[in-house]
Amino acid sequence: MLLMGTLLALSVVTVPSASAHAAAAAQCMNGQRDSRGRSSVDSGEIAWEDESVFDDARAHAHRVWSRRGLDRVKFPADDAGRIADLEWSDVSRTRPPWKGVLGRWKGMRGTDLLLLNKAYLGAGKRYGDRASRRMIAAHELGHALGFCHKNPARYRSLMAPHTFDMPSNGAPTARDRKNYRALWG
């Protein structure tokens, strides 16, 4: 049960979104806004620790949110000199509230969570291919950067709420890069 914090999930059907405060270049769904305050970023970085089996997807997400002008937020691994801002981890659940949910970012006091659902992303599952895992990880890391869902009827975006509306390469679009610069400089 979630008692506090922000919860964002990528679902095959529907997804709850986080409320936000700072303005961005592209309008979010449900009147929300992208927000630095609703991100995992601390002092210009997201220090991470990894408890996930999906290392390739995590590495892809860090890579695509760090290139082509997206260099303001860094993604160092947690070490003795840092406190982790984000933990990559896995769940394997198909019952509500996880029914149809492929991944979820959960803002919390302390270390935020980025959860990937092995029940859908695992080997042999419907979304168990490399491209889908990468797309979901990059989308969820977008939430950790403070981005909320974008309306696919208005903008082509990695931050669309459904997989079929996201770019299949699992990388931020030109609109996503514009949003990043609006939020992070």
Q: What is the pLDDT of residue 25?
A: 58
First to last CA, the chain: 36
Indicate if the pLDDT at residue 17 is higher than 50: no
Q: Does domain 6-180 match CATH 3.40.50.300?
A: no
Contact assessment for residue 127 and residue 121, using Cβ atoms and an 8 Å cutoff: yes
pLDDT tens-digit readout, 113-148: 999 999 999 999 999 999 999 999 999 999 999 999
Cα separation, 104 vs 161, whole angstroms:
12
Indicate if the pLDDT at residue 36 is higher than 60: yes
Going from N- to C-terminal start, the domains of the chain cover 6-180
In terms of C-beta density within 10 A (0-12 exposed, 13-18 middle, 19 or more buried), how is residue 169 classed? middle
Task: Report DSSP letters for 29-72, one per residue.
Answer: GGG----STTSS-BTTB--EEE--S-HHHHHHHHHHTSSTT--S
